């Protein structure tokens, strides 16, 4: 698989993810690897996403909640764009 073609935002075009929940695991894992709970809250707030009460959630659960809210508000692309801005060294997938 060739990994040299990039889009303007730095995401590789051969790492597309289709939304179904089971396909979001790689993205959830990336969020958990590169953001802590406080940063995930800040990320959600920067996009205007309100996370419901999240006391006691670990990064994995918080990342899942963030992805679900971003999807329901049609902000997955915005979320990935912000992730790329904050962590440009990570190869973030595209959501198709």
- Tell me the domain boundaries of the chain: 16-95
Question: What span, in angstroms and rounded, lies between the C-alpha atoms of 3 and 15?
Answer: 9
Residue 12 DSSP one-character state: B
pLDDT of residue 84: 94
Residue 53 reports pLDDT greater than 90? no
Residue 3 reports pLDDT greater than 50? no
pLDDT of residue 20: 60
Q: What is the pTM of this model?
A: 0.73
28-37: average pLDDT: 93
Residue 2 reports pLDDT greater than 50? no
Question: What span, in angstroms and rounded, lies between the C-alpha atoms of 81 and 31?
Answer: 13
Put residue 66 in one of left, alpha, beta given phi > 0 → left and psi -120 to 50 → alpha: alpha
Question: What span, in angstroms and rounded, lies between the C-alpha atoms of 41 and 90?
Answer: 19
Residue-wise pLDDT for 13-30, tens only, equals 445 555 566 668 889 999
**Percent of the residues in the chain that have a pLDDT greater than 90, as a whole number:** 44
pLDDT of residue 42: 93
């Amino acid at each position: 698989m060739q990994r040299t073609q990039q889009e303007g935002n730095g995401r590789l075009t051969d790492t597309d993810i289709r939304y179904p929940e089971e396909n979001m695991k790689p993205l959830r894992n990336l969020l958990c690897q590169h953001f802590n709970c406080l940063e995930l809250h800040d990320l959600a707030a920067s996009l205007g996403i309100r996370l419901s009460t999240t006391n006691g959630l670990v990064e994995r659960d918080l990342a899942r909640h963030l992805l679900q809210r971003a999807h329901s508000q049609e902000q997955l692309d915005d979320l990935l764009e912000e992730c790329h801005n904050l962590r440009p060294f990570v190869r973030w997938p595209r959501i198709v």
